[in-house]
Structure 1
Amino acid sequence: MSRSLFTEPSTAPDVQDISPEAESTNSQHLGVEQTLLDWRSLRSQQDKEYEESLLADQENERRRQCYKAWEERRIKAIEERQQRLAQYKEPSSGLLLKFKYPNGFIRKRTFNVSDPIQVLFDFVGQDEMASEIFSVQQATSSIPIESTSSGSLMDHDITTSATLYVLWISTLDIQERCPVQANGMLEQSLSSVLSLQTLLSDQALTSLSAQSPLAPTSPQVLSTMPNSSETSTLFSSQAPVSQPSTQIQPILPSSEVSLVAASGQPLSPHYNLTPHVMTIEEQAPASPFTEQPIIILEDQEEPPESPQHPPELPFYETDLQTILTKLYSKVDMTFCPTSNQINVCRDRILECSLHAFRRRRFDPAAKLDVIFVDEEGSAEGAVDEGGPTREYLRLLMRAIHQSNVFEGHENDRHLALDTSALESKMYNCIGKMISVCLVHGGIGPHFFSQRLYDHICGTLSQPTLVEEVVNHSFREQLIKIQDANTVVEANEAIMQAADTLSIVGALRRVTTLEERDSLVQSAADFFANGRVCTALQQFVEGLKTLNVLDEIQKNPAVFHELFVCEEKPLSARDLCTLFQVCFSVQGSNKRRIENQTICYWRDWLVDIEVGECSPVTLEMILEFASGASTVPPLGFPHRPQIEFLHEANKVFPEANTCLIVLRLPVHSDYESFTKYMKEGVLQSPTFGVA
């Protein structure tokens, strides 16, 4: 037996018998049915959004618990190492091993050759920054020893006093290396979270099923339906997942939904329509994910939009390399239009670059074709497979740093006002160049002032200090006004600076010392911010290239180290771990010579770092091998490699900057090795060929 809230006549009336009142009732019924269909469609969309939000919350909770579990395991591992190490007394004689940590800290300890390797790991891993799994590597070896290894020091060829470099392994790397073990740990640590997710999902599905207007209505539910004389409460568009209580809510036509609850008047008989099962939590606190009732006013043709969910915040900030990799993925490196050819001379990098970037069809989202031209005007002949581009981007960023659109301290640069640059839209081109440098694998600026970076990010900056006024004479005038002890002295200082103050709109007499401070502040603010407003707009417009500005404004803390913080200098450890050594077969004569050469190489890097091989720097060596003076934020396209030149006539180093391969010459003694390496790096004319 079917139930219906609409009374259906047993016989269809004659067309002539239909009264105007009946026609009006039928029209209202049709309008109500249309309203129901629209409401059901909206409700279905809301239910879908609710499910997506619920799943996102569950994923965030799972991630939090995951990282919490890993951190607990890391701390527990450190405590266990400290306890085990307390049982081993340091011998008075034996192997003196020196350990250099990633932060530059050095520790020493004496071991016996027969000691278990775990004693060494316990000593190294007692540091509070230690990871759960880490590795150590001898300076003369290309194979790291992970802390999960077993055996004795002798089993791992640690038989003489040496220096070992320590490398912490991140949680993500551990998961990639040991996915099975990581998954087992996660299953154990997150069992309670998964149970909670299952419970929430079941409750949510039950709640949504009960809310659906299309769900069949049970006899028990119909028996609890209110009649037309009962006062209706406004329906909620979403049900909480906790213990619900069931109520019935009739669906009202659009003309009276907002009025019934407030008036308490009985409903007309034809408004007693299809009921809707509601689950309303009694006295439930408001939640940001609980949607508000939909109220349709008489003068509204459509229901208002449901409130949007607040933006979901990530559990941890995305790292810089991940963001740049995402931007780089949108660059078509398989296509290089003719308009992207950049012909440059090393002594006129910026001028040549402006000519290329101003081409109407220059495409930043396509591959660059960089051609260096020597002083005679002929091309160097290097095919651009990556090396020339890295060299060019490094030189371009240096030229931007020294250009006339910036002023101030070397590592604290502000935008300078240059009317010629404004007219030629040079600020826009400079912003575009910086974006291209970052996304195409170049280095970061590392010279922005905090104020300039705040303006780019769209965040409020601190009031301008007088010391930030880069014009020396104007700064001295403001300081004199600021240091005036009386109003009379302040006005005298103001008159002395009248010409400049009138230009910036700050020329006025003061009657109090507070007005003096206000005048100085307004003049400094205008000099630092107001006068370069148009230039800043051009510059920011250029940074929109390749969507760089959007990512900066979404992740200001992540990009801060790339724009504001001073560039971190390279260390010998950085270069040792950066290159992968391609050795000959173990036990061969070549391998013996290569082992000795790598010892020379690593010793030379240490000597350079401590300043004993001036004027060679570690940055010069990386430039020689790759074309870049530091590891780009995006990273290299593949891991750099070291090969060996066994030919007797090849005494200088060589390099392929496209493949990032450094070829070391072999020499019988350390002095010869360092002599030819130094001459090769300093005298190399172009791309890593001495």
Structure 2
Amino acid sequence: MVIQFKYPDGGLKRRRFLPSQLFQDLVAFAGNVDMASEIFSLQKAMSPISILSTQRGSLADNGITAQCTLYILWMSGDEVESPSFSPSSPDQEDIEEAFDIAAALQTLKARVHHLAPTANQINVLRDEEFECALRAFNRPTFDAESKLDIVFIDEDGRGEGAVDDGGPTREFCRLLMGKLQGHQIFEGPPEERTLALDSIALHTNTYKSVGQMLSVCLIHGGVSPNFFSKRLFSQVFGLPSGPATIEDMVDHGLRAKLEKINSADTLDDAREAVSETAEELALMGALRHLRSLEHRKELMEAVLQFYCEGRIHAALTQFKDGLTTLGVLQMVTSHPQAFEKVFLYDPTPLKASDIVELFHARCRSLPASNRRRKVDLPIQ
């Protein structure tokens, strides 16, 4: 079987192995490059589980039995010392606690080729980031696994002149994510968006395009979509979303009418409220003659379930199809609790200490050496 290795810098190597060969034979070949770290991880495409280079046994013992591509992620000393998850661990909570989101996203980012073809150049007019992205993503030659080449232009078509070494891509992804957050396929508060039903967007595959853009912004630009509601997150990534309630309804007009049905004290008042909502209930296929106040509960449950789940089923399917781009859907579905901080709004204010903790001094000189004492003295 031929194993292909893809490196963080976009490099490729391949070699033929037997499933019975030692896993360390594969590690020796994969790690025989200048930028290799002492310990690194390997991960199959579309798999949420990475394999540390320290594993023993044969290739078959580590789940490598057929031709595949292994994505290589170099690891620093701090990452090696951090807890890692084992596919054989029976405790799902321990797995989620040990799961390293940053390493997982780096693994997905390792799929991106660093040599950008012409097809991935996107000319971006400010305030029209979504429209520019949509035109680019709809090109038959656009490849989400290739580096973006972003050129910001003015209304006359003149470029701003910045070469995209990463900065323009990150800025574009940040601006585009803001446009996606306010897009009409979503509804609800800005920090807790749910999926809305837009028949035209469904017909034009806009839900899929938005899903693709979210994936690209997350992996290429490192921009998190922190605006999903808890219900939308559960719907997309396979968690139980619980019974729908009136509070989940974003249509305030319909919500007021349903609240009137639900709060009616007598059967006649409930029937009158149903009559006032007849047009909306008929469109949902839920217009019924109430036999009793107990029957009202069945009506409310059916209407709420249809509004929050049933009517958006096709749109949700298309949206999830877009999120399969770069393996995002598969990765998050495997570890949904760990990724909540990426997709849900966090009201915790950012503090200076949080920024400071992101940086760690690393001395290149050996401990107790003259160079460490002379050159790497701490700043007073």
TM-score by length of 2: 0.69
Once residues 175 and 578 of structure 1 are traced to their aligned partners in structure 2, the CA distance between those partners, rounded to angstroms, is: 17
Change over 3 Å in CA distance of 1:576–1:316 after alignment to 2: same
Using CA pairs below 8 Å that are at least 6 residues apart, which structure has the higher relative contact order? Answer: 2
Q: Give the drift of 1:533.
A: 1.1
- Aligned partner of 2:148: which letter? L
In 1, Cα distance between the equivalents of 2:223 and 2:280?
39
Q: Which amino acid aligns with 1:467?
A: E
Deviation of 1:467 after TM superposition, in Å, equals 1.6
* Structure 2 partner of 1:427: 207
Contact 2:174 2:221 in 1 (8 A): no
Residue 322 of structure 1 aligns with an amino acid whose one-letter code is A
Cα deviation, 1:410-457, whole Å, max 9, x if unaligned, reads 111111111221111000000001111111132111111111111111
User: In structure 2, what residue type is equivalent to 1:550?
Assistant: Q
Residue 174 and residue 338 in structure 1: after superposition, are their counterparts in 2 closer, same or farther (change >3 A)?
A: closer
1:329 aligns with 2:329: no
Amino acid at match of 2:296: R
Give the corresponding residue for 2:32. Answer: none
Which of 316, 322, 329 in structure 1 is aligned with 2:95? 316
Post-superposition shift, 1:578?
Answer: 4.7
1:389 pairs with 2:177: no
* SS of the residue 1:412 aligns to: coil
**Matching residue of 1:380:** 160
RMSD of equivalent CA atoms:
2.6
Q: 2:197 aligns to what SS in structure 1?
A: coil
Secondary structure of 1:326's counterpart equals: helix
Distance 1:481 1:418, change over 3 A: same
Question: What does the per-residue CA deviation read over 1:492-515, in whole Å, with 9 as the maximum and x for residues that have no partner?
Answer: 110111011101111101122221
- Secondary structure (helix, strand or coil) at the match of 1:443 reads coil
CA displacement 1:2-43 (0-9 Å, x = unmatched): xxxxxxxxxxxxxxxxxxxxxxxxxxxxxxxxxxxxxxxxxx
| Alignment partner, residue 345 of structure 1 | 125
Paired residues for 1:80-159 under 5 Å = none
1: CA distance between counterparts of 2:346 and 2:275? 40
Distance in 2 (alpha carbons) for counterparts of 1:456 and 1:568: 24
* Mean Cα deviation higher: 493-502 or 513-522: 513-522
Alignment partners' CA distance in 2, 1:383 and 1:565? 33
2:294 aligned residue: 514
Which of residues 131, 139, 143 is equivalent to 1:359? 139
Q: Deviations over 1:570-620 (max 9, x none)?
A: 322334455689xxxxxxxxxxxx98xxxxxxxxxxxxxxxxxxxxxxxxx
Identity %: 43
Tell me the SS of whatever aligns to 1:347: coil
Contact persistence 2:187–2:194 (CA under 8 A): yes
Distance in 2 between residues matched to 1:434 and 1:401, nearest whole Å: 10
Distance 1:527 1:521 in 2: 10
Q: 1:379 to 1:174 in 2, by over 3 A?
A: closer
Deviation at 1:383, TM superposition (A): 0.1
Distance 1:485 1:348, change over 3 A: same
1:502 and 2:282 aligned: yes
1:108-507 equivalence runs, <5 A: 173=78, 312-313=89-90, 315-317=94-96, 318-333=99-114, 335-507=115-287
Q: Write the letter of the residue equivalent to 2:298.
A: S
Q: Secondary structure at the match of 1:370?
A: strand
Q: 2:311 aligns with which of 518, 521, 531?
A: 531
- Residues 437 and 549 (structure 1 numbering): CA distance in 2 closer, same or farther, change over 3 Å? same
Q: Structure 2, unaligned stretches of length 5 or more? A: 1-18, 20-76, 362-378
Deviation at 1:568, TM superposition (A): 4.6
In structure 2, distance between residues paired with 1:577 and 1:460: 35
Q: CA deviation at 1:538?
A: 0.6
Name the SS for the 2:295 alignment partner: helix
Aligned length: 282
Deviation at 1:524, TM superposition (A): 1.4
Query: In 2 relative to 1, CA 438–481 (structure 1 residues): closer, same or farther, beyond 3 Å?
Result: same
Corresponding residue number in structure 2 for 1:551: 331
Considering only CA atoms, is the larger Rg found in Structure 1 or Structure 2? Answer: 1
Which digits, 9 at most, give the CA deviation of each residue in 1:324-352, with x for residues without a partner? 0111112112x211111111111101010
- SS for the counterpart of 1:438 is helix
Q: Is the 8 A contact 1:328 1:440 kept in 2?
A: yes
Counterpart for residue 352 of structure 2:
572
Q: Structure 1 residues 418, 574: CA separation in 2 closer, same or farther (over 3 Å shift)?
A: same
Aligned positions of 1:628-639 closer than 5 A? none
Query: Secondary structure of the equivalent of 1:316?
Result: helix
| 1:488 counterpart SS class | helix
Matched residue of 1:372: which SS?
Answer: strand
| Residue aligned with 1:393, SS | helix
Q: Per-residue CA shift, 1:193-231, capped at 9, x if unaligned?
A: xxxxxxxxxxxxxxxxxxxxxxxxxxxxxxxxxxxxxxx
Could you report, residue by residue, the CA deviation over 1:537-571 in whole angstroms, capped at 9, with x for unpaired residues? 11000001111111111001011111123265432
Change (3 A) 1:326 1:523: same
Change (3 A) 1:419 1:347: same
CA deviation profile, 1:129-157 (whole Å, cap 9, x unmatched): xxxxxxxxxxxxxxxxxxxxxxxxxxxxx
Contact 2:192 2:345 survives alignment (8 Å): no
Q: CA, structure 1 residues 313+432, in 2 after alignment: closer, same or farther (shift >3 Å)?
A: farther
The secondary structure found in structure 2 opposite 1:403 is coil
Residues 344, 352 of structure 1: 8 Å contact kept:
yes
CA distance in 2 between counterparts of 1:570 and 1:368 reads 30
Cα pair distance change 1:366/1:512, threshold 3 Å? same
1:369-403 Cα offsets, whole Å, 9 max, x none, are 01111244310000000111110110011110011
The alpha-carbon distance between structure 1 residues 402 and 477, as it changes in their structure 2 partners (threshold 3 A), is: same
- What do the CA deviations read for 1:347-366 (whole angstroms, capped 9, x no partner)? 10101010011111111111
* Distance across 2 between alignment mates of 1:446 and 1:174: 25
Q: Judging changes above 3 Å, is the alpha-carbon distance between structure 1 residues 428 and 319 closer, same or farther for their aligned structure 2 residues?
A: same
Instruction: Report the TM-score, using the length of structure 1 for normalisation.
Output: 0.39
Deviation at 1:535, TM superposition (A): 0.8
